[in-house]
Amino acid sequence: MKTQVIMQQLAAKHPGEAEYLQAVQEVLESIEDVYNQHPEFEAAKIVEQMVEPDRIFTFRVNWVNDAGEVCNNLGYRVQFNSAIGPYKGGLRFHRAVTPSMLKFLGFEQTFKNALTTLPMGGAKGGSDFDPVGKSDAEIMRFCQAFMLELWQCIGPDQDVPAGDVGVGGREIGFLNGMYQKLARRYHTGVLTGKGMTWGGSILRPEATGFGALYFTQHLLHKAGKDIKGKKVAISGFGNVAWGAAIKATELGAKVVAISGPDGVCHIPEGITKPMIDYMLVMRASNRNRVQDMSDKFPESALFTAGKKAWSVPCDIALPCAFQNELSLDDAKELIANGCWCCCEVSNMGCQPDAIHHFQHNGILFAPGKAVNAGGVATSGLEMTQNAQHLNWKAEEVDQRLHQIMESIHEQCVRFGTQPDGHVDYVKGANIAGFMKVAQAMLEQGIV
């Protein structure tokens, strides 16, 4: 395989799809050596098959806002790969959503889901609907209109959506309500991230952040380090940042920053329980402003407009917001301020040159598809509970999440250990995910 040749062909076929091409390039670069040792993959053109989604649904979503105006949005579901299980992945509601963004996320999801050890294929969906400033009633009407189109494409053994940026428990509730009404048959496991009284799994809301910290612990342990007493900078203040802040604090670290599109809150003494709880209020308000934290806690949270979390000195950086949120300049600033570890929690949170800079400077770095897989893994555990028609206790879910994150770390070490003994977590995660999906595709023939 020649990565460059495949990338050129792909770029010609999909001009302007920058995020998608970026995600594919990273994976192909990582797997090139391994791929070339498997002529059977080459013969079946596994890579050429794997980089294209199985199919994409695109639909128009019309709804009426509180002012009585008609609004038009686009909805999508990208069913990327179902070689190892039903399509599985979140829905993103964000004004910048495009097919390119959802293709990159669906592609990443395929490898991530393979790493979880659970039988789930990869998918992603969403809409360019912008939740900022919307009322609860508007969110409900939009979710209902969105599901009116989506419901035919999904099902417990077909495709199981969940939340992502802009889609949390409230939105999953509205989506599930409309789905059940349309299907006229109760399918408990058609969405994950459900409420606790209607089939949700305990700890699913926390799982992405908790899993990320469990992974970080393994990574630090392997490097002979400990998280206790370390300063952690977190970007964002949504669901993922919230779970990460809880677990980091519980493990004895000090969360010194959270951020938003408006700027950063520096929290010199470390985030507290009331502040962590307030992150949920901020998310539910749809204001998308981190300054609200310093308005509420002016003594402890110091807001600076226009700055990122990476401007706050820390030991460990945890990007928890959006793709490409950490640039080369940010990586340089972090290192200059003493940062020595970056675990990517957002999907593709770091720009490629930022990752290379971390790696060349000996910074411990692990990619999103390994670090954040605890979220979808716990979705998988929710599907299992739904299929069994029962609910596990928190201890059982947490223990399984622990085991899964440990296994993901082991897979990274197994496939990513370099001749000099250091672990390249990017390579490790990509090769481990790729080998599983490629093998599954090969065994099931050309379909």
Please tell me the distance from the alpha carbon of residue 151 to that of residue 141, in angstroms, as a whole number.
15
Cα 294 off chain centre by: 27
Work out whether 379 is an interface residue with ligand 2IT (CB under 6 A): yes
**Should residue 110 be labelled a site residue for ligand 2IT when binding is judged by CB under 6 A?**
no
Contacts to ligand 2IT from residues 170-199, by CB under 6 A: 192
Those residues whose C-beta lies under 8 Å from the C-beta of residue 229, and which sit 6 or more positions away, are 252, 253, 254
| Minimum distance, C-beta of residue 138 to ligand 2IT, in the bound complex (Å) | 23
230: annotated active-site residue = no
CA quadruple 150, 155, 160, 163: dihedral, nearest 10:
50
Give the nearer residue to ligand 2IT in terms of CB position, either 372 or 411.
372
Nearer to ligand 2IT, 300 or 346 (CB): 346
For 1, 26, 336, 371, the CA distances from 5, given in Å and listed in that order, are 8, 14, 37, 30
Please report whether residue 375 would count as binding ligand 2IT according to CB under 6 A.
Answer: yes
- Cβ proximity to ligand 2IT, 147 vs 376, nearer residue: 376
Task: Judge whether 226 and 264 are in contact, CB under 8 Å.
Answer: no
**Residue 240 touches ligand 2IT, criterion: CB under 6 A:** no
Residue closer to ligand 2IT by CB (options 263, 380) is: 380
Q: How far apart are CB 192 and ligand 2IT at their closest, in Å?
A: 5
**Residues 6+ away with beta carbon under 8 Å from 161:** 77, 89, 90, 91, 123, 125, 150, 154, 175, 191, 192
Interface of this chain with ligand 2IT, residues 254 to 293, rule: CB under 6 A: none
Site for ligand 2IT in 334-373 (CB under 6 A): 347, 372
Catalytic residue among 124, 134, 194, 436: 124
205 binds ligand 2IT (CB under 6 A): no
Binder of ligand 2IT out of 53, 75, 85, 89 (CB under 6 A): 89
> Which amino acid appears at position 194 of this protein?
K
88 binds ligand 2IT (CB under 6 A): yes
Angle between helices 273-284 and 239-250 (to 10 degrees): 170
- CB neighbour class for 52 (10 Å; exposed up to 12, middle 13-18, buried from 19): middle
Contact in structure between 319 and 304 (CB atoms under 8 Å): no
Q: Where are the alpha helices (DSSP H) in 251-361?
A: 273-284, 291-296, 328-336, 352-360
Task: Mark the segment that binds ligand 2IT (CB under 6 A) among 14-22, 35-43, 88-96, 297-305.
Answer: 88-96
How many CB atoms are located within 10 Å of the residue 414 CB? Answer: 12
For the CB of residue 369, give the shortest distance to ligand 2IT in the complex, in Å. 8
CA 342/CA 351 separation, integer angstroms = 13
x/- mask, ligand 2IT, residues 153-172, rule CB under 6 A, reads ---------x-x--------
Among 339, 364, 376, 381, binds ligand 2IT (CB under 6 A): 376
Tell me the residue nearest to ligand 2IT as measured from the CB: 90
88 versus 308: smaller Cβ distance to ligand 2IT: 88
Token pair 């390119």 is found at 100
Task: Return residues touching ligand 2IT (CB under 6 A).
Answer: 88-90, 109, 112, 162, 164, 192, 347, 372, 375-376, 379
Q: Which residues are catalytic?
A: 124
